Structure 1
Amino acid sequence: MTIKNGIVPTDYYNLLYKKPNLITNILSILGKFKKHPTAFVGMLIIIAYILMAIFAPFISPYNIKYSDLSERLMPPVWNGGTWSHPLGTDQIGRDLLTQIIYGSRISIMIGFLTVLISALIGTILGAIAGYYKGTIDTILSRFADFLLSFPFLIFAVGVMAVLGPGFWNLILALTFKSWVEFFRLVRGEVLEEKNKEYVEAAQALGRSSSAIIISEILPNIFQSIFVLSTLRIGYMIIMEASLSYLGLGVPPDIPTWGSLINSGRNYIFDAYWISTLPGIALVILVLSINLFGEGLRDILDPRLKVEGSE
């Protein structure tokens, strides 16, 4: 870049691009939620679930290992049960409310960790592929296309069958394919951003490619990454519940919503609450996440369309 009209490259760069102020952006986003009441309600429900998971030992009525066979299959309070077990008990006398509260920990933790790791991997690989292109872009893109050719659940079942049940094995199985959505998003965004003037100005100042990617491009596409992350959390929670339902999630001694639903399937007509109530808790959380994500998408980037690839 050459000096023109008395403006040196540094001044030209500063005129072209001013980095977003994080605090100002957060306050602006919160203010815009007034126009999206469903997204705001979804956010409040998500916060309530997170607080429930964090403070589970303090708010659950019983210890996680508590069971009493003399109280097995007690109905919820609205079906003639007692307030000592407001949501009833399961087939071995465990308090269902306690199991649902503790089960939220696994679902929320796996959903957040899986998306966090997937976003990190997909962002790094997508930024490299989009900025440098060439052979590395071809290899990564073809590998991503290969992974997308498999249905997500079937792929995860196959990986878990090899690795075996376990918390980190479950995260690994989900992450192994879920990074692809972030890779494709970031690669496309970087391809678009790298040709803009502020990037050319940074290159003219002699900044390294890694510095341009990290300091210049990524802050401008972070909104898209954040929106996609929010929408994918709900999907990962459903995947965790599906694998736990099939007995391929975490070990059976750890309560999860999927395993609770599975444990009550043989009692669906006699004790519907064992499967139904954990399922309702799962639906409410995932629906709230999707409402929040959709509202966030409209606020941050109305053009962003997240299409399922499975």
Structure 2
Amino acid sequence: MSDITLNSAPAASATAAPPARKQARMPALVVFAIAWLAMMLLTALAADLVSPYSYTALDLRNRLTPPIGLGGEWVHPLGTDELGRDVLSRLIQSIRMSLLIAFGATTIGAVLGVSLGFLAAHFRGMVEQAVLALVDFQAAMPFLILALSVLAFFGNSLPLFICLLGLHGWERYARIARGLAVSAGAQGYAAAVRQLGASPWRVYGRHVLPNIASTLIVSMTLAFPEIILLESGLSFLGLGVQPPMTSLGNMVGYGREYLTRAPWILLAPSSVIVLTTLSVSLLGDWLRDRLDPTLR
């Protein structure tokens, strides 16, 4: 009887022990997204170092040279365009330009939206109604028509183009910032800090903003691919980045005229656009699942 009792004790304790918690692994698609975005960022930072040629260098004797795999040589791995310019060099510079525009426009939209959202949450009343009216107006206005009108009236320059794209989607940040700031005030910690004598800048900058940063970061990762696609569309129409500068959409716009004779001019930037937007979207979805406690 004692042997049965002693032998059953370890079994009972083993049964009662909680199962070991499995460590969550990062999905393979997310790993690919992070690796691709890291490669794009390194390419943009070291564009002048890794470009085999100048992106404006002409070589009319080697016009429309095919890439490797289609009869081309290693001198031009991705071929050349209609003016003999190296497609790989232009692609590297286009990645830098498109990422610069996307980062700048996303940052401008986030700063503008969060500032107006905090302004509406702090003052309430007429100020809040005015901000909400601007938000509704922005959401109802077709942004592409607005962008075409502004670029046609004021002309095109890179700073104006980035600021114009920064107006795209700011109303999302304003709604999020206002709602979360009002919720923070209802929870009491913002009001407690305010009663201790903290200024509004300190309340919103040191206490409210860190608590809503995860939501804003996820929103920025979801808006980032939209900016890339919008820049590509406007550049495709000839209203984006102007020569001699180049961007991914600019390359696609010029390559459409040679789609049947030299499809590599268009396929290279198109593939980068697809993979970059897909990677940012995958990373944004994964961050949302990781940072949102309601989804755990």
TM-score by length of 1: 0.83
Q: Tell me if the contact between 1:231 and 1:293 (Cα under 8 Å) persists in the aligned partners.
A: yes
Find the counterpart in structure 1 of residue 163 from structure 2.
Answer: 172
Q: Tell me if the contact between 1:33 and 1:39 (Cα under 8 Å) persists in the aligned partners.
A: no
- Residue type at the aligned position of 2:261: D
Task: Write the distance in 1 (CA, Å) between the matches of 2:25 and 2:35.
Answer: 13
- Residue type at the aligned position of 1:234: P
TM-superposed CA distance for 1:50, in Å, is 0.8
Matches within 5 A, 1:132-281: 132-281=123-272
Say which one has the larger Rg. Answer: 2
| Alignment CA distance shift 1:190-1:89 (3 Å) | same
Find the counterpart in structure 1 of residue 284 from structure 2.
Answer: 293
Aligned counterpart for 2:273 among listed residues 254, 275, 282: 282
Q: Tell me if the contact between 1:39 and 1:291 (Cα under 8 Å) persists in the aligned partners.
A: yes
- Residue type at the aligned position of 1:212: V
Q: Tell me if the contact between 2:255 and 2:263 (Cα under 8 Å) persists in the aligned partners.
A: yes
- Residue type at the aligned position of 2:82: Q
Q: Tell me if the contact between 2:108 and 2:163 (Cα under 8 Å) persists in the aligned partners.
A: no
202-211 or 159-168, which deviates more: 202-211
Which string of whole-angstrom CA distances, capped at 9 and with x for unpartnered residues, describes residues 130-166 of structure 1? Answer: 2321110100110111111122222222222222221
Which string of whole-angstrom CA distances, capped at 9 and with x for unpartnered residues, describes residues 62-119 of structure 1? Answer: 1122121111111111111111111111111111111101101110001001111111
Q: Tell me if the contact between 2:107 and 2:166 (Cα under 8 Å) persists in the aligned partners.
A: no
62-71 or 89-98, which deviates more: 62-71
Aligned to 2:82, the other structure's residue is in SS state coil
TM-superposed CA distance for 1:198, in Å, is 1.8
Matched, 1:85 2:60: no
Which string of whole-angstrom CA distances, capped at 9 and with x for unpartnered residues, describes residues 181-215 of structure 1? Answer: 21111111112111003223323433333322222
Find the counterpart in structure 2 of residue 115 from structure 1.
Answer: 106
Aligned to 1:220, the other structure's residue is in SS state helix
Higher relative contact order (CA 8 A, sep 6+): 1
Aligned to 2:169, the other structure's residue is in SS state helix
| Alignment CA distance shift 1:36-1:132 (3 Å) | farther
- Residue type at the aligned position of 1:276: L
| Alignment CA distance shift 1:77-1:105 (3 Å) | same
148-157 or 34-43, which deviates more: 34-43
Which string of whole-angstrom CA distances, capped at 9 and with x for unpartnered residues, describes residues 12-69 of structure 1? Answer: xxxxxxxxxxxxxxxxxxxx98434322321221111011011111111111221211
Q: Tell me if the contact between 1:115 and 1:236 (Cα under 8 Å) persists in the aligned partners.
A: yes
Task: Write the distance in 2 (CA, Å) between the matches of 1:33 and 1:95.
Answer: 44
Q: Tell me if the contact between 1:39 and 1:294 (Cα under 8 Å) persists in the aligned partners.
A: no
Find the counterpart in structure 2 of residue 101 from structure 1.
Answer: 92
TM-superposed CA distance for 1:245, in Å, is 0.8
Task: Write the distance in 2 (CA, Å) between the matches of 1:135 and 1:33.
Answer: 48
TM-superposed CA distance for 1:268, in Å, is 0.7
Q: Tell me if the contact between 1:33 and 1:40 (Cα under 8 Å) persists in the aligned partners.
A: no
| Alignment CA distance shift 1:299-1:76 (3 Å) | same
Identical aligned pairs, as a percentage?
35
Q: Tell me if the contact between 2:110 and 2:173 (Cα under 8 Å) persists in the aligned partners.
A: yes
Task: Write the distance in 2 (CA, Å) between the matches of 1:58 and 1:107.
Answer: 18
Task: Write the distance in 2 (CA, Å) between the matches of 1:127 and 1:177.
Answer: 19
For these two proteins, the number of residue pairs brought into alignment is 273
Residue segments in structure 2 that go unaligned for 5+ positions in a row: 1-22
- Residue type at the aligned position of 2:255: G
TM-superposed CA distance for 1:126, in Å, is 0.4
Q: Tell me if the contact between 1:131 and 1:194 (Cα under 8 Å) persists in the aligned partners.
A: no
Task: Write the distance in 1 (CA, Å) between the matches of 2:290 and 2:183.
Answer: 21
Find the counterpart in structure 2 of residue 46 from structure 1.
Answer: 37
Q: Tell me if the contact between 1:107 and 1:257 (Cα under 8 Å) persists in the aligned partners.
A: yes
